Amino acid sequence: MQRIFTRPQALTDVPFHYCPGCPHGIVHRLVAECIDELGVRERTVGIAPVGCAVFAYNYFNCDMIQAAHGRAPAVATGVKRAQPDAVVFTYQGDGDLAAIGTAEIIHAATRGERITVVFINNAIYGMTGGQMAPTTLVGQETTTTPRGRDASYHGHPVRVSEMLALLDGTAYVARVSVHGPGHVNRAKRALRKAFEVQIHNLGFSLVEVVSACPTNWGMTPVEALRWVEQNMLPYYRLGEFKTPGQGEA
């Protein structure tokens, strides 16, 4: 019998704690597959965020560091500079990366740190129970925008990829989604490219994954995926915003 589907080597044999229908698990798997395919597991150091993915250090079968909320890019900078040969990635949510850690992500990007950032944009703070994130859409209800996000009162949602693509230090910036099989495949290709950019020493790379939080959005997994397509994607345009040597698209 031929085995055609197995757990990637870069994942441990530990069940994910994520809610049913949560895309965090899919993205973990994609990242692990990239690490396997590129043959870099033994020199990979991952940085876990604060957020639902805080336990990522239990799931990735490579060296892992748990960082303070938002500080993963600074921690990754320290690792990469101390060990230029390492393949370093951070895995961060939108609260982590686009609120408390905005300074760290922008400056790691402008420095052109040779790191790869996996940025999960689910438009909400998952772990703390569904509060507004910087990426929460206008009109979206959260526990701290109970009547929906009002741009004139709560401010506007931030588009991280577009913003970072403007910086000279970034080499690869893409936004992908995982709400259907075709998208999952495209997400995988983008993640792989982001790691390759790092391995070829071309600069900072980031893949934003438009994600879902069925639990805190108060939806079934299927409803949540539909909501991604209908509400998130019109605002968070998918595509490659910057590729090496090409400048901003």
Partner 1 sequence: MAELVLMKGNEAIAEAAIRAGCRFYAGYPITPQNELCEYMARRMPEVGGTFIQSESEIAAINMVYGAGSAGARAMTSSSSPGISLKQEGISYLAGAEVPGVIVNMVRGGPGLGSIQPAQSDYFQATRGGGHGDYRTVVLGPGSIQEAVELTMLAFDIADRYRNPVVVLGDGMLGQMMEPVRFPDTPPPSPQPKPWATTGTRGRGHPNIINSLYIEAEACERHNQRLQEKYRRIEREEVRYELVDPEAEYFLVAYGTGSRICRAVIARAQAEGLRVGMVRPITLWPFPQVAIEQVVERARAFLAVEMSAGQMVEDVRLAVAGRCPVYFFGRTGGAVPTPQEVMSRLKMIVEGRGGEL
d(CA 184, CA 232): 16
Beta-strand relationship, 239-243 and 44-48: unpaired
Interacting residue with ligand TPP among 95, 157, 203, 214 (CB under 6 A) = 95
**By CB under 8 A, residue 168 contacts partner 1:** no
Q: To the nearest 10°, the Cα dihedral for 174, 176, 182, 184?
A: 110
Candidate segments 29-37, 57-65, 220-228, 229-237, binder of partner 1 by CB under 8 A? 57-65
Binding residues for partner 1, rule CB under 8 A, total: 39
Residues within window 101-160 making contact with ligand TPP, judged by CB under 6 A? 120, 122, 124-128, 133
Q: Using CA atoms, how far apart are residues 217 and 214, in angstroms rounded to an integer?
A: 5
Cα–Cα distance for residue pair 210/139, rounded to 1 Å: 18
What is the nearest approach in angstroms of ligand TPP to the Cβ of residue 224? 13
Instruction: Choose among partner 1, ligand SF4, ligand TPP, none what residue 53 binds, the Cβ cut-off being 5 to 8 Å by kind.
Output: ligand TPP
Contacts of 56 (CB under 8 A, 6+ apart): 28, 46, 48, 49, 64, 91
Within 61-90, the residues that bind ligand TPP by CB under 6 A are 69
Q: Nearest approach, Cβ of 73 to ligand SF4 (angstroms)?
A: 20
Q: Are the beta carbons of 206 and 163 closer than 8 angstroms?
A: no
Write out the residues near ligand TPP by the rule CB under 6 A: 50-53, 69, 93-96, 120, 122, 124-128, 133
